[in-house]
Amino acid sequence: MNELGQAAEAADLPPPYSRTTAITTDILQALLLICVVGWALDLPRRALGLSLYTEQLLTICLGLSLALCFIGSEGRPARRFDIGGAFAFLATLTFTALRFSSPAEVPLIVYGGLLVTLIWTFFGSRIQTIASFDWLAAIAALAICIYIAIRYEPLTYELAMLPVEGIVGSAILLLLVLEATRRTSGAILVVIILALVAYVFIGPHLPADFQTRPVSPERLIVYLGLDTNGMIGAVLAVAVLIVVPFTIMGQVLGRTGGASYFADLAMAGMGAFRGGAAKISVVGSALFGMISGAAVSNVVAVGSVTIPLMTRSGFNGKRAAAIEAVGSTGGQLMPPVMGAAAFIMAEFLQVSYGAVVIAAVIPSLLYYAALFINVDLVAAKEKIGAAQAADVPPFL
């Protein structure tokens, strides 16, 4: 019976990553890195004599990111219904019902969209079709984004006339982005986005203080998909042009020994004090956060050393993990390299990044001071002493 149960359970699991998937993922990641670094070095103009719009780069990066998301999720669990496809079908059906008064007025391409989303709903997450649909979605995302990048200039001229190719391409791209968002960030964020989209159509019917101007579904789709205030706007520009280069810089510093240096520095400075292991975690996370600006890489680089150190010193596992998680999260607040939100703030407020850095100094120091005091009080309460002498390197 156990063997039968294990066999049935194994049948419900997705197939492991194939060699083709691994190679394609590496190629897409390399292309994304080449695009960002090449743009930062101005290689299109210097090497090829091309003057490109920033939005063309952003579109290519968006396509590569979507393809990575879909191919990378090849191992997702199989389900009877695909939630993303269901949302897409309901959205397309709602648009059709509101936009056209009779079935005869509906263009064939809309019926095609309804059929595709319905098929995706019932077969997109089946074990037999997961890989095929994910590869199809990745290819579609790349194809649409490459097409938009090549024809970006004429499309911007035609934007006000709502071209059919712009509406269809934007609609498919929006659905792919929503599905990718669901896979990477969860369904809650997608629900919030859809609620905000629904408000656009509900707004004209609300009382005066909450009333908005009416917007047709076609114009909203084209605006979100192709306008510089939509998906290929300021937020994506900050992520591609600023956050990625700074992240690369932090990774280079970490890979060349920067993370170990900061961890050793924190150990040498804090290891001899009460609750020294936790204080090493706090100080080390703050120092590494100055060069990374990313909570996840902070946990990986510093937490892999400090969490075992804290458990050996007397902290229980959950508390040790919590201290490192809170300390690494604060790394996004530590100047000079902070999280993506700092760059977006500078972009929207139209101030220099240096002004944001200066404004963040005092709050970040207060954050870590509060965390430092907390771990000191916990150590005093639980009578946890200094870190083990063998784990603490000499200061000089």
pTM: 0.71
The chain-wide mean pLDDT, for the chain, equals 80
Question: What is d(CA 150, CA 59) in angstroms, rounded to the nearest whole number?
Answer: 10
Q: Which of 278, 303, 306, 302 is nearest to 291 (CA)?
A: 302
The pLDDT tens digits for 311-343 are 888 888 888 889 888 988 888 888 887 877 787
The single residue listed with the structure tokens 């120091």 is 365
The pLDDT tens digits for 192-236 are 988 888 888 888 888 878 888 888 888 888 888 888 888 888 788
Give pLDDT, residue 388.
61
Whether residue 103 is preceded by a cis peptide bond, meaning omega within 30 degrees of 0, is no
Give pLDDT, residue 8.
40
Report how far apart, in Å, the C-alpha atoms of 274 and of each of 139, 256, 259, 264, 376 are: 56, 31, 24, 18, 7
Give pLDDT, residue 257.
67
Helix (H) or strand (E) holding 65: helix 54-72
The pLDDT of residue 366 is above 90: yes
Helix (H) or strand (E) holding 317: helix 317-330
Give pLDDT, residue 243.
74
The pLDDT tens digits for 23-40 are 888 899 899 989 988 888
Confidence of residue 14 (pLDDT cuts 50, 70, 90): very low
The pLDDT tens digits for 254-267 are 677 666 676 677 77
Give pLDDT, residue 367.
92
Answer whether 386's CB lies under 8 Å from 276's CB. Answer: yes
The pLDDT of residue 7 is above 60: no
Q: Which residue has the higher pLDDT, 74 or 249?
A: 249
Q: Kindly report which listed range (50-64, 153-167, 169-183) carries the lowest average pLDDT score.
A: 153-167
